[in-house]
Chains A and B, each alone.
Chain A
């Protein structure tokens, strides 16, 4: 063949094979999966579910804000100035309009849970054995737990308590139970009634509990993933929030569900010998024995770091010379909280207890910071699991619900378990003969001490329709619009059906 012809042939060959057909443009993502590579079998379903668990680690959610801000927004904590002087947290500490919990983004993590539930419900997961089938039950139950948790956190942040709806603002939060895999599946959900959201949360948790309870379903022993007891504990909390003048029947349900959780044996109450250690040395392999569910921060790269982790906000690490090495310790115990602790209370003791001397400039020597989120020795600063549900809370839920059911003796017994346990827990003695309103006050005071720094304080005001106290004695009135968090502007703009809370 002549040279000329060879070239023309080559040109034509290359040309025809490369132009006109889109095949040559095929590229395949190597570092990501496409739709047809996920949710195929048990393993690929588990990996999507892991993503849903992991979404809880976000610093805007259980990684930090969901724990930190309810304290800072109310009266347990104060922002120290100079802390890092970055001004972070300042707006939340003074409840500036619009500076609130901002967890609406957590709906994004819900998509993974819905993907799992949808795929299992529609039998799209290939099941090759009985073991696969029961594993799917567990996966679905865990996905339902995540869905319930997110919806519940949303409704308690963005909506009134169903018993204390103000000005008829009966707006729940969008209920999202369908996954989005393509643009066409995007919906613009409106806000249903508050009750509807509680009912959805209840249904999902009951469904999860029953799936965990199905014969053969492996109920995970790990407290880092949702298990049956965790679902029961969460549902107990949901019932306590739900219970009130409008829904008095929920008190008994709260008692029942707390009892189920306690009786599951999944968590055990600390004693005075290990109360502090169970917090301070709880690690990625050994959670706090009191926990039903902790958000797991296992790997170094999951660490939110010296600046942004809970530990970094709550404490600072100093070197021998007293200079800060890492962490900022922006948020420390308020004087009002410190006043709650009796001298004997381990939870209020600095150094050997759950508090520490706050080592920062310009603050009085009496300043205290929490040790609850200190990384265990040997681990990176800031790398610490976050307890979400604990057995002490279950006893306090049962005590509170029982006191409203006028079962004062049972309530007092549970309260004393938190204070004294079987043979000493917090250093406080058991109470004797307290009843009625006084008992209830003791329960609430105990709740504040026991659950301090754990993201309950704001909600303990708002769920009961109370004014929110601030450390300096001022209040955010229950009628104040700032009781409800603002829905981020971008969300309202992106979803025309989503109504903003009043005042924003």
Chain B
């Protein structure tokens, strides 16, 4: 069919050329299609060569044009190869445009439109959907980790589908939000955990990564400022696949895999634990002069043996192994796409189930996607994008020192405690649970009796109409909705610690997010005199997001088996939550390109948000940028090895309307009186002031200066993109502490400033080209962050962890000096650099280790090597993070001393035992403090000293994929279009000095009880027919 068309066109050309001389001015009609799939190309430019006479194709790719005899048409469209066609004397000219494979003409999606990469003057990063194919990672934001310069992704939690932290170009806010704005097929989504208690959820969990066409990251103000007050942390635009004209295509894809823990904390075995315990007791009794040496030893031994038995005879149970398991992952997705010249569709359904590497923790998603593109009339097209999903997560404790957390439970249990009864059943009351924390019951039992579940149902929908007002102006009317319902349900058995005090409790939490938007835009595209190319967009948008929900807790259930209902319980706590914000904006952007060489762009948006104080409801967010395609200049035209050379510069302002959520001033900048339980008294409801209004409250303002350089040489074998940026945050929201006599704790004010600056480098090289092909994609980001202004000039805010001139997340702690060889006591350095046993606040120093902070690394990046040979494809993707500091919480909690009757880190084997021992692990003492040693915060605590702060740099083989595409000859015989067999490994190899469970934990959070990421291997097969 397609071949025939080409033949026809070619034949037409031949006959036309013979008759050129006789032709006269007349009307021709024709149709422009894409050679790749035969679909119509609406909006293609058609110009009669040597004149300004031209037209644009309509939505069906048709055009009508007056041409003189002998005319040649120049047909062009973004992303397709510009083609010249001689008209001859035919009255019908159909043109089929080949794809333009030159990288420069790639189209990049930007806010409210798309742009040729060669005309881009802002900083935009992009990942194609293929790179994310079949990643067994529930949420998209995790999948882009390491793939785009300037984008840092950390997991808040390793539970499948857990929330993430995404930081584009550093951290720009202290009190407000730092997450980028997500736009999924036009639907603006505010990132963040919507679950309120039990699960850790991610609003992007509902999207099947195999539906993704591309992900674009708008990094600088020039690219992002069209989103105004929501753009300060960057914008991530996710575009899903759409149907293409042609015979219906079906894809069926299935993979299965297994997942496992990456690493265990090295803990003591029973013999070691009992011996060390006895040693601790001995040390304790010896510290009393009244006991003789021998007496103290005997006392320690008998006490230990009575409680814990004989060391040599004790069996060891590996609790970490018991709470972990070989998990599995299954995924099936089916898609159908195709259509004719009027109606195209992409529909898909998927089911993904992951049993995590920890007991009672899993993730299940079912999703359905309906993408339709319909041509209604010659001027009107409609786009429909709908994603429906349901996600179920079971988990045992989301983190924190939580008695119900399986990981905390496992690391806490004594190795001698037998988890099972003689009949093989799980033992609820552990034999050795005698200590004060003995009530941390058997985690295996808790996993059975305390189910914790969350279900997220989500609709993401966008409907848009495009109307071509005339050949230059397109009107687009777009309507979006996100509707999410998160139902959480937890049970705490009356026999378990979480339920003991209240005779058991059942919790139901329900959260609804209703987020709707409309965007109305006019787009104008025109080229004058073949030199001046203008594209402009103007429009307005409105967004209204409402979150509400309730919590209900019932206690004393009638039966422990009635664990999923409030029926039969006594109402304990019932409360509801509500939040809402609205944003409205007017925006415009003009791009002007002169001779394809000089590119200018200007954007302005005026945004109002209900979150701003009445004095500052509206803000204006402008940006300008320019670029110069130097390689198009005459002096470089003949330099054949330079394919592209462009410099870019931009400056602009974006806003952060995600104000002070952590400070309780979330949505309403006025004085509020709450009716929380805390205000009720004696059974009567009460009301109290909760929030002191700030009529001046406004957005945090980001001013980004960006310089960019793009070049590609040697037939595009080497392509480099470099960006240097300075991102300054002004009007930084900080909590101004109020005296308690005011009746309030603090008020949020726009007072501070901070700066992120950095260098981003992306290099793509085709190392070997030909049948065997090797492509390397490398990106790296160097980042610096510093606070430049706080509340009072020249005054630090140490209580908030903020120091002028220093980065956010600065670690300020006492320095550990090891152990006194004479008596085994822990030592620290004081201010003067001398030894002290009791460090104080002013003995602290800023930790230079790794020279990053707890929030930010020094540099991070990723490298992907892709090898293809015939149908075989091998992809290896490494990702790294350098210089970030992290607290090794678990190790610290299990190596402070024998304070808790819990298992201890193997580091304890290195403890000081006798005078002269040189070691960094102090003498073992049971109880809180070594006599005469630090009881200050800075010596006694885990985080107040540098002993457990570590450099969390790592490099990780994030992904390795081996795929084989069956040759066409085989496929044809099978009557299929394609068959792909693949295997994929995730996190198979890691190199790090960090001694905690994983270096990838979210920045600056306590990682106690946070489930670490897993490693997994999957194998799958994909059929296309």
* Residues of chain A having any CB pair with chain B under 8 Å: 3-4, 7-8, 10-11, 14-15, 18-20, 22, 24-35, 37-38, 44, 46-55, 57, 81-87, 90-91, 96, 104-108, 110-112, 114-115, 174, 176, 179-183, 186-189, 222, 224-225, 296, 298-303, 305-306, 317, 321, 323-326, 328, 360-361, 380-382, 489-491, 493-495, 498
Bound together, the chains give a CA A405 to CA B927 distance in angstroms of: 51
Q: Is B30 an interface residue (CB 8 A)?
A: no
Q: How far is the CB of B900 from chain A (nearest CB, A)?
A: 6
Q: In the complex the two chains form, is B380's CB within 8 Å of A3's CB?
A: yes
Question: How many contacts A-B (CB < 8 Å)?
Answer: 272
Bound together, the chains give a CA A32 to CA B686 distance in angstroms of: 11
Chain B positions 849 through 892: 1 when the CB is less than 8 Å from some CB of chain A, otherwise 0: 00000000000000000000000000000000000000000000
Q: In the complex the two chains form, is B555's CB within 8 Å of A323's CB?
A: no
Q: How far is the CB of B398 from chain A (nearest CB, A)?
A: 19
Q: How far is the CB of B915 from chain A (nearest CB, A)?
A: 26
Q: Is B833 an interface residue (CB 8 A)?
A: no
**Among B429, B497, B608: residue with most chain A CB under 10 A:** B608
Interface residues of B in 655-683 (CB under 8 A from A): 667-668, 670-675, 677-683
Q: Is B246 an interface residue (CB 8 A)?
A: no
Q: How far is the CB of B433 from chain A (nearest CB, A)?
A: 6
Bound together, the chains give a CA A14 to CA B475 distance in angstroms of: 14
- Segment at the interface with A among B96-104, B163-171, B578-586: B578-586
Selected contact of B747 from candidates A85, A183, A325, CB within 8 Å: A183
Q: Is B576 an interface residue (CB 8 A)?
A: yes
Bound together, the chains give a CA A57 to CA B379 distance in angstroms of: 68
Selected contact of A4 from candidates B469, B686, B688, B690, CB within 8 Å: B469
Interface residues of B in 555-613 (CB under 8 A from A): 555, 570, 572-573, 576-578, 580-586, 608-610
Q: Is B817 an interface residue (CB 8 A)?
A: no
- Segment at the interface with A among B56-64, B360-368, B434-442: B434-442
Interface residues of B, dominant DSSP: mixed
What chain A residues lie within 8 Å of B577 (beta carbons)? 31
Selected contact of B739 from candidates A81, A114, A495, CB within 8 Å: A495
Q: A182 with B671: in contact, given A7-B467, A82-B927, A326-B500 (CB under 8 Å)? A: yes
Q: In the complex the two chains form, is A33's CB within 8 Å of B673's CB?
A: yes
What chain B residues lie within 8 Å of A24 (beta carbons)? 542, 582, 584
Bound together, the chains give a CA A110 to CA B673 distance in angstroms of: 15
What chain B residues lie within 8 Å of A52 (beta carbons)? 688
Selected contact of A14 from candidates B465, B520, B741, B799, CB within 8 Å: B520
A-B contact sample (11 more), CB < 8 A, given A30-B580, A38-B673 = A19-B586, A22-B617, A30-B548, A33-B673, A47-B687, A90-B935, A105-B740, A182-B693, A225-B682, A298-B683, A494-B737
Q: In the complex the two chains form, is A11's CB within 8 Å of B668's CB?
A: no
Bound together, the chains give a CA A46 to CA B744 distance in angstroms of: 20
What chain B residues lie within 8 Å of A82 (beta carbons)? 435-436, 926-928
Q: How far is the CB of B193 from chain A (nearest CB, A)?
A: 19
Q: How far is the CB of B802 from chain A (nearest CB, A)?
A: 14
Q: In the complex the two chains form, is B935's CB within 8 Å of A84's CB?
A: no
What chain B residues lie within 8 Å of A491 (beta carbons)? 739-740
Q: Is B970 an interface residue (CB 8 A)?
A: no
Interface residues of B in 909-938 (CB under 8 A from A): 926-929, 935
Q: Is B715 an interface residue (CB 8 A)?
A: no
Q: Is B275 an interface residue (CB 8 A)?
A: no
Selected contact of B679 from candidates A51, A87, A222, A494, CB within 8 Å: A51
Q: In the complex the two chains form, is B690's CB within 8 Å of A301's CB?
A: no
Selected contact of B578 from candidates A11, A31, A188, CB within 8 Å: A31
Q: A38 with B687: in contact, given A108-B745, A495-B739 (CB under 8 Å)? A: yes
Selected contact of B609 from candidates A25, A38, A303, CB within 8 Å: A25
Q: Is B623 an interface residue (CB 8 A)?
A: no
Q: Is B899 an interface residue (CB 8 A)?
A: yes
What residue in chain B is nearest A305 (Cβ atoms)?
A: B501
22 contacts between A and B (CB under 8 A): A4-B469, A7-B467, A10-B477, A11-B522, A25-B609, A29-B668, A29-B672, A32-B675, A33-B673, A33-B674, A34-B670, A34-B671, A35-B673, A52-B688, A90-B928, A106-B740, A111-B743, A299-B683, A305-B501, A324-B439, A380-B503, A495-B741
Q: In the complex the two chains form, is A50's CB within 8 Å of B743's CB?
A: no
Q: How far is the CB of A504 from chain B (nearest CB, A)?
A: 13
Q: Is B694 an interface residue (CB 8 A)?
A: yes
What chain B residues lie within 8 Å of A187 (beta carbons)? 741-742
Q: In the complex the two chains form, is B497's CB within 8 Å of A326's CB?
A: yes
Closest 6 CB pairs of A and B: A111-B743, A50-B686, A51-B688, A51-B679, A495-B739, A30-B578
What residue in chain A is nearest B792 (Cβ atoms)?
A: A493
What chain A residues lie within 8 Å of B581 (beta carbons)? 27
Q: In the complex the two chains form, is B438's CB within 8 Å of A323's CB?
A: yes
Q: How far is the CB of A51 from chain B (nearest CB, A)?
A: 3
Q: Is B738 an interface residue (CB 8 A)?
A: yes
Q: Is B256 an interface residue (CB 8 A)?
A: no
Q: In the complex the two chains form, is A299's CB within 8 Å of B668's CB?
A: no
Q: In the complex the two chains form, is A27's CB within 8 Å of B667's CB?
A: yes
What residue in chain A is nearest B307 (Cβ atoms)?
A: A361
What residue in chain B is nearest A47 (Cβ atoms)?
A: B687
Selected contact of B688 from candidates A20, A48, A180, CB within 8 Å: A48
Q: Is B377 an interface residue (CB 8 A)?
A: yes
Q: In the complex the two chains form, is B900's CB within 8 Å of A85's CB?
A: yes
Q: How far is the CB of A369 from chain B (nearest CB, A)?
A: 15
Q: In the complex the two chains form, is A32's CB within 8 Å of B672's CB?
A: yes
Q: How far is the CB of A189 from chain B (nearest CB, A)?
A: 6
Q: In the complex the two chains form, is A107's CB within 8 Å of B610's CB?
A: no
What chain A residues lie within 8 Å of B433 (beta carbons)? 323
What residue in chain A is nearest B679 (Cβ atoms)?
A: A51
Q: How far is the CB of B467 from chain A (nearest CB, A)?
A: 5
Q: Is B692 an interface residue (CB 8 A)?
A: yes
Chain B positions 717 through 748: 1 when the CB is less than 8 Å from some CB of chain A, otherwise 0: 00000000000000000001111111111010
Q: In the complex the two chains form, is B501's CB within 8 Å of A306's CB?
A: yes
Bound together, the chains give a CA A111 to CA B742 distance in angstroms of: 7
What chain A residues lie within 8 Å of B542 (beta carbons)? 14, 18, 24
Q: In the complex the two chains form, is B682's CB within 8 Å of A222's CB?
A: yes
**Among A28, A35, A301: residue with most chain B CB under 10 A:** A301
Q: Is B370 an interface residue (CB 8 A)?
A: no
What chain A residues lie within 8 Å of B520 (beta carbons)? 11, 14-15
What residue in chain A is nearest B377 (Cβ atoms)?
A: A3
Q: In the complex the two chains form, is B741's CB within 8 Å of A176's CB?
A: yes
What chain A residues lie within 8 Å of B467 (beta carbons)? 3-4, 7
Q: In the complex the two chains form, is B740's CB within 8 Å of A321's CB?
A: no
Q: A26 with B540: in contact, given A53-B681, A110-B743, A301-B677 (CB under 8 Å)? A: no
What chain A residues lie within 8 Å of B583 (beta carbons)? 25
Q: A180 with B743: in contact, given A7-B477, A51-B687, A225-B682 (CB under 8 Å)? A: yes
Q: How far is the CB of A27 from chain B (nearest CB, A)?
A: 4
Q: A27 with B668: in contact, given A11-B477, A14-B520, A326-B497 (CB under 8 Å)? A: yes
Q: Is B290 an interface residue (CB 8 A)?
A: no
Q: Is B534 an interface residue (CB 8 A)?
A: no
Selected contact of B434 from candidates A10, A27, A55, A323, CB within 8 Å: A323
**Among B608, B683, B742: residue with most chain A CB under 10 A:** B742
Interface residues of B in 426-469 (CB under 8 A from A): 429, 433-436, 438-439, 465, 467, 469
Q: A87 with B439: in contact, given A108-B744, A306-B500 (CB under 8 Å)? A: no
**Among A24, A108, A181: residue with most chain B CB under 10 A:** A108
What residue in chain B is nearest A325 (Cβ atoms)?
A: B500
Bound together, the chains give a CA A81 to CA B675 distance in angstroms of: 40
Q: Is B1019 an interface residue (CB 8 A)?
A: no
What chain B residues lie within 8 Å of A180 (beta carbons)? 689, 692, 742-744
Bound together, the chains give a CA A464 to CA B555 distance in angstroms of: 48
What chain A residues lie within 8 Å of B572 (beta carbons)? 300-301
Q: In the complex the two chains form, is A81's CB within 8 Å of B670's CB?
A: no
Q: Is B38 an interface residue (CB 8 A)?
A: no
Selected contact of B686 from candidates A51, A108, A306, CB within 8 Å: A51
Q: In the complex the two chains form, is A37's CB within 8 Å of B673's CB?
A: yes
Q: In the complex the two chains form, is B899's CB within 8 Å of A174's CB?
A: no
